[in-house]
């Protein structure tokens, strides 16, 4: 596990743009995971970190929720994309 975390950290520190996302209809766990990972990445990397998703109204209270971008506002290139809490099926 330590090796995988080290690999992820290396990828993030070498990247210029990072995308974090989850399932099409994200729940609080998925949104919270993306926003928390965004903060962690920003603490170790100078990369631009975008979180995307259509956020239901009931989660508008979450810290940093105003940083979540709609798909149409995303950049056309990301060095790293991470999907959190996605369905494997």
pLDDT digit string, tens, across residues 40-87: 999 999 999 999 988 889 999 999 999 999 888 787 799 999 999 766
Q: Is the distance from CB of 84 to CB of 22 less than 8 angstroms?
A: yes
Residue 1 pLDDT class (50, 70, 90 cuts): confident
Q: Which residue has the tokens 């494997």?
A: 88
- Confidence tier at 8 by pLDDT (50, 70, 90): very high
Q: Determine the Cα–Cα distance for residues 88 and 50; give it in Å rounded to an integer.
A: 22
Q: What is the pLDDT of residue 73?
A: 79
């Amino acid at each position: 596990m330590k090796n995988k975390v080290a690999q992820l950290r290396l990828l993030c520190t070498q990247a210029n743009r990072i995308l974090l996302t989850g399932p099409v209809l994200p729940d609080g766990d998925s949104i919270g995971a993306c926003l928390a990972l965004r903060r962690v990445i920003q603490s170790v990397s100078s990369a631009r970190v975008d979180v995307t998703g259509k956020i239901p109204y009931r989660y508008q209270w979450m810290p940093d929720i105003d940083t979540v971008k709609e798909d149409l506002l995303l950049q056309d290139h990301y060095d790293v994309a991470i999907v959190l809490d996605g369905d494997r099926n």
